[in-house]
Structure 1
Amino acid sequence: MTENKSYQDTSNPIVLFDGVCNLCNTSVRFLMAYNRKENLHFASLQSKYAKNLLAKYNLSQTDLATVVFIENEKISTQSTAIFEISKHLIYPWRAIENFKYLPKSITDWFYKLVAKYRYSWFGHKKECMIPKAEWKHRFHG
């Protein structure tokens, strides 16, 4: 994990995720596989790095039920974050972005439903995921 980078260095888009959630960890591995440009970076919401970023943007440091996506100083959460992240994936996964044209109330409702039950449906770990050696340069924390 890159400890020497300042939390204010957001030159690459960054995904903040629940590091103990099995669904979230599987999603990060999915993003790593289909982000061929390798420009997405990651940090668990439990990390000091993420807490500093959340504080910088006046976001809750205790809400682990939402993904946070930061790109060019723009913050996205919940379903909007998913759509923004999908722009960085290869096809056909990039097409997920097209769901942003659905009403936000519907996409966020679905997001919140999955987020609410993610631990009971997919389980969770006691500790945050340790990234593979070849991925460590893309993780902060």
Structure 2
Amino acid sequence: MENVDLKMRNVVFFDGVCHLCNGFVDAIISRDPNHRFLFAPLQGTTAEELLSPQERESLDTVIYYEAGKTYHRSAAVLKILSGLGGVYGVSRIGWIIPGFIRDILYKIVAKNRYSWFGKRDFCRLPTANERSYLLP
């Protein structure tokens, strides 16, 4: 995939060793029949290309990249869910809650995600069906 094309795609960056984060990726892939989203670990080369060094160091947040703009934490989750359409469009209601309030809950979960959900020893290896979704 050429760089120009990649910069125009919707990329979800996640902590590649976090079980919760990988579960979120699995859930989105299974609900994305139109292949709207691509996924890349924050520890990977795609993150190096599209994100700032500070963003790549923030392993405690999901980052959503959409046409050159990045969304973090709860804003990223809301953008991703609403992008799935259908019943997930209801997530747009979440925007009425101020971001700093939404992010309080997000940060609590992020801080405890390894102890609550576990951690992998290495980044996920894609299945054959996932290969077209996952970037390095």
Distance in 1, Cα, partners of 2:35 & 2:105: 28
Give the partner amino acid of 2:99: K
Please state if 1:110 is matched with 2:82: no
1:92 shift after superposition: 2.0
Distance in 2, Cα, partners of 1:127 & 1:8: 28
Give the partner amino acid of 1:104: G
Contact kept, 8 Å, 2:7 with 2:50, in 1: the verdict is no
1:22-101 to 2 correspondences below 5 Å: 22-55=19-52, 59-101=54-96
Q: Which has the higher helix share?
A: 2
Deviations 1:40-94 (CA, angstroms, capped at 9, x unpaired): 0000001121122113xx6432110011101121110010001111122143223
Distance in 2, Cα, partners of 1:39 & 1:119: 28
| 2:115 paired residue number | 120
Distance in 1, Cα, partners of 2:20 & 2:89: 19
Show structure 2 runs of 5+ residues with no match.
none
Distance in 1, Cα, partners of 2:114 & 2:124: 15
Give the partner amino acid of 1:95: V
Contact kept, 8 Å, 1:16 with 1:45, in 2: the verdict is yes
CA RMSD of aligned residues (A): 1.7
- From 111, 135, 138, give the equivalent of 2:133: 138
Q: Normalization by structure 2: what TM-score? A: 0.91
Instruction: Look up the SS of the partner of 1:42 in the other structure.
Output: strand
Moved over 3 A (4+): none
Give the partner amino acid of 2:7: T
Contact kept, 8 Å, 1:7 with 1:52, in 2: the verdict is no
Give the partner amino acid of 1:27: F
Length, aligned pairs only: 136
Contact kept, 8 Å, 1:35 with 1:90, in 2: the verdict is no
Show structure 1 runs of 5+ residues with no match.
none
Distance in 1, Cα, partners of 2:106 & 2:5: 28
Distance in 1, Cα, partners of 2:126 & 2:83: 20
Instruction: Look up the SS of the partner of 2:65 in the other structure.
Output: strand
1:117 shift after superposition: 0.4
Over 3 Å counting, the alpha-carbon distance change for 1:97 and 1:131 in structure 2 is farther
